[in-house]
Chain A
């Protein structure tokens, strides 16, 4: 694939190095002369100096034949504009943006950026996974972002312990898809399944309902 990377800082540099080693054709666009020189010295002449939001620079970089654009500068507005330029002016099929402020996810999505990656969100997800006391873990955000798969651990003190599933009212649009018990292992939930302490429930829900779901299951 021909991949254009906007921003030659640390992320741009290591990303390009990895993509090159995977056999892709890579071009980096970077404003700063010193960073540009560093990339050329280390990785060969794959860096051009310029503004990755300017149509003339992008045209010069061969944006018209690029399969993918990845914008990883430390400024969200620059990443957004680079991606929009690529998408709208050059019809690049895939645009990926680094999100510095995770709150900008909705606007990036609305404006047609294919993938927005937030390192803050990724770190938070790992904290949730690694810290065992956290009662709810995000496992996967489904593609449209309106639904997600989460894991909730049932504390021994929860009011749902010992109850049958059919007697536990879940929030709307929330479903249990799997129950993983300490001894019984993974099983598909049925209306008569009885919840035991320390069961891990894998559920599909909506982001705005996760608090309600957690309250229902953990009893807090």
Chain B
């Protein structure tokens, strides 16, 4: 599949690496070129400097032909906005975003966005670990 990832932090870089290894066509975006150091040296995808909440940048990243879009920057609102642009303006078939704030995640889930709250997931994992 053709995948666009916004945010080359630890999670973004790790996901890019995994998908690239499986032979997918990956483009990863970040506003800071220094972030691309997190990608492995044999990364076969494309690195693109720019703000993924900007339509023009998304077009340059090939969003119009993308099968999937993932927003994993540090900013919840940035992720939410970029994901909604990908879903509603570019009609990308699969859009997933990270929202740290559990309440915000609930709201956007009800609005039809596929969102994951690492806060909620990790707290739950910790709770299970403590109880086992």
**Which residues of chain A have a CB within 8 Å of any CB of chain B?**
53-56, 75-78, 80-81, 84-85, 88-89, 101, 103-104, 106-107, 110-111
Main secondary structure of the interface of A (DSSP, over half): helix
Chain A residues with CB below 8 A from B77, complex form: 53, 75, 77-78, 80-81
B77–chain A nearest beta-carbon distance, Å: 4
Known: A54-B101, A107-B84. A77 touches B54 (CB 8 A): no
A146–chain B nearest beta-carbon distance, Å: 16
Known: A54-B103, A55-B104, A89-B107. A77 touches B80 (CB 8 A): yes
Assess the B80–A107 pair: CB atoms within 8 A.
no
Assess the A77–B103 pair: CB atoms within 8 A.
no
Assess the A77–B56 pair: CB atoms within 8 A.
no
Assess the B89–A88 pair: CB atoms within 8 A.
no
Assess the B89–A110 pair: CB atoms within 8 A.
yes
In this complex, how many residues of chain B approach chain A with their Cβ under 8 Å: the count is 20
Main secondary structure of the interface of B (DSSP, over half): helix
Most chain A beta carbons < 10 A, residue from B78, B81, B107: B81
Assess the B53–A77 pair: CB atoms within 8 A.
yes
Chain A residues with CB below 8 A from B81, complex form: 76-77, 80-81, 107
Cα A77 to Cα B56 with chains together (Å): 16
Assess the A103–B88 pair: CB atoms within 8 A.
no
Given contacts A81-B104, A101-B54, 17 further A-B contacts (CB under 8 A): A53-B101, A54-B103, A55-B107, A56-B103, A76-B53, A77-B53, A77-B75, A78-B77, A80-B84, A81-B77, A81-B81, A84-B107, A84-B111, A88-B107, A88-B111, A104-B55, A111-B84
